[in-house]
Amino acid sequence: MRYVLLSAFAAVCFAGALRADGPAPSYSATDSSVSTMGDKVAGRIGACVVGQDDKPRICFGLTKEFDGDPQFTFLVLFRTGRKVCRPTGVSATVTSDGAVTHSNNTFSLGDFELPLTVETKHDPKTGKVTNSKVVVGDVEVSGKDSGVVVVDLTGDKPSYKLVKAALPACKVDVADKDHKTWTKAIDGAIAELKKNSKEVNALAD
């Protein structure tokens, strides 16, 4: 049986300092949850766009099991040039039959939209994620060929490029509802990607 978990226009914005010399960032997230068991935490973020200075900085998804460290499920960086592409929210529809969850998202980025679909498969006994597929624009990110998607917003319409690169260690704390620790985690992930990939460094802001 299929059922709709969420179908609405959602804009989730929280204050915090992603960069000390800039205005407070915004976070537009969908299909997110956190569970606790004693002092252990599990959770997921289906997709989250982080914006600052009227531009998107990064889009990511993550998952964390009670007995494991958080892991990025995908990462998106942006090239905006001089354009104002302020993230203002996300329209999201999430459906699930218990074994597979589909999340169809459209993030608003000024004059542009970022379509992003996440398909997640779960172990029917444990509920743990066994496989995920992400489609950013017209680019699919999954399996051994996964990497970082760079979205170029400098033209008349967005273009998408998949750069093969290892995803950095995820240090985003899903239990930190105030996002006080997210600054270092997100900036660290972006810096590591650019350090380890000349192509990512050349293409992304």
Q: What is the pTM of this model?
A: 0.86
**Span 170-199, mean pLDDT?**
94
**Span 119-143, mean pLDDT?**
83
Output 186 or 120, whichever has higher pLDDT: 186
Residue 46 has pLDDT above 80, yes or no: yes
Alpha helices by DSSP H, 18-71: none
Rg (CA), the chain: 16
Residue with tokens 């273009």: 159
Structure tokens belonging to residue 58: 């990064």
Segments making up each domain of the chain, as ranges: 3-203
Residue 58 has pLDDT above 90, yes or no: yes
